[in-house]
Structure 1
């Protein structure tokens, strides 16, 4: 990933199951960037309006596979550039724990959407403190969309809102073999730019999605519909 900021989709108890058999994104990250393990000793439970930034962690291992197929394949030479103020690797892990959508519809409430926006904003708002660049890249993907039950479209919109509000960051969004989702996301972002839709407008529309949930539209479809209606686009 050619980015200084990497999302880590973590458990509220950072590290998750890395020490006792877990092997999802968080545990894999902690296995090949082993300096992350120190955070398990230093960091308490992540509260609702908190995120954890782990800076300068080197990658030591090459790997392949995922979950049951995850395996070590040899040492890794980490050629990441150096962040001069700290003389450490210019890499920052943005550890954010997503809402656990144990009941699917709760993730669409205004309160829980606001929770996710606040959470990610905590992780990204001060990114310039950790970088010499005027503009940087945030590498992310389907945050909280595995065992936590998150809706991929909703989570993508939430991340776009926060990154746009923070400013100075581009997104590398990894869809993990879902080209149709990637195309749909690119089309939505292009539509938002073309219609000069603001962060505030997108957020207000998203807050109203819960009220229309039973009408069966996806978050992307609902955004398109409401923006066209608001701006008189037919």
Structure 2
């Protein structure tokens, strides 16, 4: 990935939004027609939000710094740009690892050039680092403008990084399995600890690794006015944006980690309600574990094996001492991906255990009913002293086998199968009922069932 420095300079001082528009888009001709759409409405909203929050004039305090950062190539930025090392076999011999390192000066340089629409040149088959669509998004008001909220997060990053000591190294790592996940030696591992949380993933203060509910294309390979879990995560930790231009589509046996990034922003809302709230009080760095999940055929052996393998690969510690902390996750593979929350929780627990993760922090995003059910399931498993393989076989493989045998799907979208303990072949049960029957529990309601 190449990021040439900005070479243009304003002909006159930029003191207002109209001046900024003419610099960002020199061919723009202002219109006097009252019904014409103004340029860069989200950017204008974001600047207003920045000035209201920080009680500072953007044009005299922050803009000159952004311009200087975009002009000045850091000494740590190689003339050849950013690229990955050749893949190396891990010390455990089960996967290969390719890495790209850049420091906070380089991250700031690239982000500043993105902000002035001096778009970096991505690596082949990688994502687009253009902010034009984000800046040009439109909403009825600032309070409903997700594009503006994402840009306000970026301005908050620039405001903070101007006063932060530089030199922190960020690493993008691409891993790929050499063999099967079950070939990993987990004989000395026990089931990982589980901390079920009603609150958000960000509330897990002890977790040093944060699961990104990614697509095959990291951050969908573009930056748009949207607020999914992944998009919120990158907005709050903007140093991660660099990876979009460096990472091609993930295959089924690949994962992407972005290590040692810092979260700068706290937020509220999700999707269309996402908003910048304030700067993060405590300066903490963490690792982003980017993994994509299947979007169909969730209960087949191939799909379950694929997703458990992928989560395991991301959760394995690095060859160095770094990366052995707890992992925080949530409903990965659910929502638009179509997965079942209980099913994906079990998969991630198995993966964390195989990877020898000390603690899996799991956010149910306020679903108290589900949290109580999962606590009962965990307690029942521990009371029976099941091993990792017991959980994987009895709660994942056995259900996949019964689904395959039944080969049955209701037209309304729920996946069902037959329980061997049921006397009537016509009785069909959900995954929650399958789990509940195994342990003698009461299943959670249909709100948690798989929807296609």
Q: Could you tell me how far 1:200 is from its partner in structure 2?
A: 1.2
Q: Could you tell me how far 1:145 is from its partner in structure 2?
A: 0.7
Q: Could you tell me how far 1:220 is from its partner in structure 2?
A: 4.2
Q: Do the aligned residues in 2 keep the contact of 1:58 with 1:78 (CA within 8 Å)?
A: no
Which of 417, 420, 442 does residue 214 from structure 1 map onto? 417
- 1:12 and 2:203 aligned: no
- 1:138 and 2:334 aligned: no
Q: Do the aligned residues in 1 keep the contact of 2:256 with 2:290 (CA within 8 Å)?
A: yes
Tell me the residue number matched to 1:110.
301
CA distance in 1, matches of 2:213, 2:434: 26
Q: Could you tell me how far 1:72 is from its partner in structure 2?
A: 1.5
Q: What runs of 5+ residues in structure 2 fail to find an aligned partner? A: 1-203, 404-415, 419-427, 441-452
CA distance in 2, matches of 1:28, 1:17: 15
Q: 1:61 to 1:168 in 2, by over 3 A?
A: closer
CA distance in 2, matches of 1:208, 1:132: 33
Per-residue CA deviations over 1:117-137 (Å, capped at 9, x if unaligned) read 11101101225736376xx32
- 1:79 and 2:283 aligned: yes
Q: Could you tell me how far 1:144 is from its partner in structure 2?
A: 1.4
Secondary structure of 1:15's aligned partner: helix
- 1:93 and 2:288 aligned: yes
- 1:152 and 2:317 aligned: no
Which of 375, 378, 381 does residue 189 from structure 1 map onto? 378
Which of 388, 393, 415 does residue 204 from structure 1 map onto? 393
Tell me the residue number matched to 1:124.
315
Q: 1:141 to 1:42 in 2, by over 3 A?
A: same
Q: After TM superposition, list the pairs within 5 Å mapping 1:172-187 onto structure 2.
A: 172-187=361-376
- Per the normalisation by structure 1, the TM-score is 0.83
Per-residue CA deviations over 1:136-189 (Å, capped at 9, x if unaligned) read 321111011111111111100101111112224211110011011111111111
CA distance in 2, matches of 1:130, 1:11: 29
- Per the normalisation by structure 2, the TM-score is 0.45
Q: 1:227 to 1:129 in 2, by over 3 A?
A: farther
Secondary structure of 2:328's aligned partner: strand
CA distance in 2, matches of 1:173, 1:132: 18
Tell me the residue number matched to 1:38.
242
Q: What runs of 5+ residues in structure 1 fail to find an aligned partner? A: 81-88, 229-234
CA distance in 2, matches of 1:74, 1:18: 25
Q: 1:63 to 1:18 in 2, by over 3 A?
A: farther
More helix by share: 1
Q: Could you tell me how far 1:100 is from its partner in structure 2?
A: 1.1
Q: Do the aligned residues in 2 keep the contact of 1:16 with 1:22 (CA within 8 Å)?
A: no
Q: Could you tell me how far 1:221 is from its partner in structure 2?
A: 3.6
CA distance in 2, matches of 1:55, 1:132: 9
CA distance in 1, matches of 2:315, 2:321: 10
